[in-house]
Structure 1
Amino acid sequence: MDWFKLSLQLNNFPINRAQKLLEEIREIPEEKYQEYIVQRRTDIVNYHLKNNPFYRQFFQQEGFKNWEDVPVMQKSDLQQPLQKRLSNGFSKRKAYLGKTSGSSGQPFIFAKDRFSHALSWAGFNNRYNWYGIDLNTSLQARFYGIPLDLYGNIQEKLKDRISLRRRFNIFDLSEDKMKGFLKRFRKKDFDYINGYTSAILLFAKYLQEHDIRLKDLCPSLKLCIVTSERLFEEDKKLMEESLGVPVINEYGASEVGLIAFENRNSEWIVNSEDLFIEILDKNGKTVPKGTEGRVVITSLYNKAHPMIRYDIGDSGVLSENGSLKQPILKKLIGRTSDIAKLPDGKVVPGLTFYYVTKTIIEDNGEIKEFVITQTATDAFKIEYVSKEDFSELQIKKILHAIETYVGKNLKVNFKRSEVLRRSKSGKLKQFTSHL
């Protein structure tokens, strides 16, 4: 049975139509690809100018003329109630809704129309096929967190079951948990691993310390896909030796889908089918290939919500060897995540704080930015930009989330600021450890 297709179809995502369109796009010859991109860009801008009051106000021009004049969207532009940003004819019930991870420190809620969301998944499945992985039939070992509230937990486990995913909870990566991971790999015929770089790296280091090669215990294993955090070359080498399979970089974002995926030649092939990727300077001008700049993304098919010239918060470099149809991401700067070490010996990946930040992402745009810093093994500081101080109820919710997802008996200091300190690249790092 095609479990991947079934799970999307049960949720009214037209995956068959999306896969057909993806195949048609991929058949467009290189010499006609510019025409395709220009047409799609024009169509999506005109659609939102006609059907989206928020985007008309943001655009601030009389009609669309030149692509270079289209304003660049910042995350701060989207930090207002979602209902104000939806296109005419769409509601929260008629679209796919999600929350950004807040890895850049600027979370918000977004929407994708159902066809656009299905097209994103068709793209993922296409790339996974490069390595013999089929989302319909391949069993995934999923190194992610999971909501611990009853409803969220049940919902996520149901999704995992239907989607052929078996979750390895990364909220606790102590040695005892690693032993439990090994037992599961011995019992199940996993086809691939997918998850946060830092969590899988810790597991790989555990394997190395115990002189274990994972593929020897789980011969069915073919691939490891890491996402959400930067993978350094020395870490990749360690992981491949310990896991016994290729380790592949996936670059994506929940609000736009797959951005780039590593091929067998170690090239990051940019998704040019349903996204248009630009590298811009600080003035919003396109930089030459080989030059570092801001990664700016246009979702060519999302009609529910405009993601047009959207500054995702990363810096990158496009290769001189790529083409319009097959751009190559030469370098991605940022997206690293520290690890929190607690007094009881528990080790927690920095991205665990994504599940903490979800408790303070409210659909009102009041909380603009935040960063979390570990100042001691049992002490953390949350610094945020907001119109008002956190209420007692908000603080209580955050403390409860930290106790649930991170650990107990931790000291947390809250500080409201006018602005937050940024790195030289202009990014905020959501979590930093000073240990």
Structure 2
Amino acid sequence: MRLFDFSLKFNGFDIDNARKTLSKIQALNDFEFNDYVEKKQEEIISYHLQNNPFYKSFGKGIAIDRWDSVPVMTKRHLQRPLQQRLSLGYGLKDIYVNKTSGSSGDPFIFAKDKWCHAMTWAEIMDRFSWYGIDFNSSKQARFYGIPLDKKGYYKERVKDWFGNRFRFSVFDLSDEAFDKALKNFKASKFKYINGYTSPIVQFAKYLKRKNVILNTICCSLRVCIVTSEMLFEDDKKLMETQFGVPVVNEYGASELDLIAFENLTGEWQVNSETLYVEVLDQNDNALPNGEEGRIVITSLYNKAHPFIRYDIGDIGTLSDKGSIRKPILEKLTGRTNDIAVLPSGKKAAGLTFYYITKSVIEDDGNVSEFVIEQVALDKFMIRYISLNELSGDMKKTIAIEMERYLEPGINVYFERVSKLERTKAGKLKQFVSNL
């Protein structure tokens, strides 16, 4: 039984038709493909101008036949209650709702209509199939976070069961935790590893210390696919050596889709079927391929919620060797997360703070930006921008969560500020270690 497909269909995502639609798009010739993209751009703008009050107000000056007249939107434009951003006719039963990770420091809740989300999964499954991965039959070793509250924890475990995957926690990167992971690899027929880059790098370093090549004890392992954080070449070489399999780089955003995926020839191939990806300068002008600028993305299928010329907060370069049909991402800047080192010597991935700061991410748009800085082994500073001061109860909740996810003895301090320091690329890092 194809359990993964069944779980998508059960939740209202028509994956069969989405796959067929994607195949038809991929079968278009170059002329037809160019026409398809232009029509989808016009269609999605027209739809939201007619059916989305938020976007109608946001895009007052748009001329439908002039793409450069479409304003660039950022996460900060979207930090308002979700109901204010939904298109007319869409209720909670018609949409997929989730939160962004906040890795850029600008968290918010977003929505996709169910057809858009089905197309997202069709795209992801297509790319993974390049490496022989079938989500219905290929067992995944998953290095992601997991909620620690009972409801959230068991919900993710059920999803993991339907997804044919086993989740390793990124909250504990100690040798003791990796000892248990290694035993699991010995006992399970994992076909691929998937997850955040930094904890997987830490696992590879552990294997090197233990002088273990992973696919010699887990012979079914074929590939490792990393996402969400920058993959450095030295780390990739280390992982390929210690895992004994190729390491593939994925670039995506939960509110959009899979953005780029390393193809079989080592190119970072951009998703041109369900997204339209541009690189713009600081004045919102499109840059020619080969020049570095802001990555701005349009979701061609999301009618429930507009993501049109959406500045994702990254800096990158599209290769001049690419085309509208097959764009190639030549360089991406600024998707790294540090490792937190705690008083006991325990390590935790920077993306751990996504789960800790969930209590800050509310649908009322109060907190617009935040960063967490580790200033000592036991001291963390949370700096944030908000409409209103965080209450004492909220601060206490966050402090308790920090101890629960990390370890006792953690001291958490808060500072409400009017401005947060950004990198040279203009991006916030959610977590920075000063150790």
SS of residue in 2 equivalent to 1:134: coil
Describe the superposition over 1:178-210 as per-residue Cα deviations: whole angstroms up to 9, x where unpaired: 100000000000000000100000000000111
- Contact preservation (8 Å) 2:292, 2:316: yes
- Contact preservation (8 Å) 2:145, 2:352: yes
Supply the distance in 2 between the matched residues of 1:7 and 1:108 (Cα, whole angstroms). Answer: 26
Aligned to 1:213: 213
Supply the distance in 1 between the matched residues of 2:237 and 2:248 (Cα, whole angstroms). Answer: 11
Describe the superposition over 1:250-308 as per-residue Cα deviations: whole angstroms up to 9, x where unpaired: 00000001000001211000000000000000100011111000000000000110000
Supply the distance in 1 between the matched residues of 2:62 and 2:344 (Cα, whole angstroms). Answer: 61
Supply the distance in 2 between the matched residues of 1:139 and 1:178 (Cα, whole angstroms). Answer: 19
Aligned to 1:262: 262
Describe the superposition over 1:376-408 as per-residue Cα deviations: whole angstroms up to 9, x where unpaired: 000000000012211012112211211121222
For residues 215 and 54 of structure 1, do their structure 2 counterparts lie closer, same or farther at Cα, with a shift above 3 Å needed? same
Deviation at 1:62, TM superposition (A): 6.2
Aligned to 2:131: 131
Aligned to 1:403: 403
- Contact preservation (8 Å) 1:83, 1:92: no
- Contact preservation (8 Å) 1:204, 1:243: yes
Matched, 1:345 2:345: yes
Deviation at 1:171, TM superposition (A): 0.7
Matches within 5 A, 1:240-389: 240-389=240-389
SS of residue in 2 equivalent to 1:179: helix
Give the aligned residue type for 1:388: N
Aligned to 1:24: 24
Give the aligned residue type for 1:345: G
Structure 2 gap segments, 5+ residues each = none
Matched, 1:227 2:227: yes
Normalized against structure 2, the TM-score is what? 0.99
Supply the distance in 2 between the matched residues of 1:223 and 1:301 (Cα, whole angstroms). Answer: 30
Matched, 1:413 2:400: no
Describe the superposition over 1:83-105 as per-residue Cα deviations: whole angstroms up to 9, x where unpaired: 00000110123200010000000
Aligned to 2:120: 120
SS of residue in 2 equivalent to 1:154: helix
Describe the superposition over 1:360-385 as per-residue Cα deviations: whole angstroms up to 9, x where unpaired: 10001110100000000000000000
For residues 62 and 319 of structure 1, do their structure 2 counterparts lie closer, same or farther at Cα, with a shift above 3 Å needed? closer
Give the aligned residue type for 1:303: K
Aligned to 1:54: 54
Aligned to 1:80: 80
Matches within 5 A, 1:139-150: 139-150=139-150
Supply the distance in 2 between the matched residues of 1:332 and 1:42 (Cα, whole angstroms). Answer: 28
Deviation at 1:61, TM superposition (A): 2.1
Give the aligned residue type for 2:193: I
Normalized against structure 1, the TM-score is what? 0.99
Deviation at 1:65, TM superposition (A): 3.2
Q: How many residues align?
A: 435
Matches within 5 A, 1:196-211: 196-211=196-211
SS of residue in 1 equivalent to 2:395: helix
Deviation at 1:60, TM superposition (A): 1.7
SS of residue in 2 equivalent to 1:86: coil
Cα RMSD (Å) = 0.8
Supply the distance in 2 between the matched residues of 1:62 and 1:229 (Cα, whole angstroms). Answer: 34
Aligned to 1:160: 160
Aligned to 1:423: 423
Structure 1 gap segments, 5+ residues each = none
Give the aligned residue type for 1:230: M
Supply the distance in 2 between the matched residues of 1:271 and 1:2 (Cα, whole angstroms). Answer: 26
Describe the superposition over 1:325-345 as per-residue Cα deviations: whole angstroms up to 9, x where unpaired: 000000001101100000111
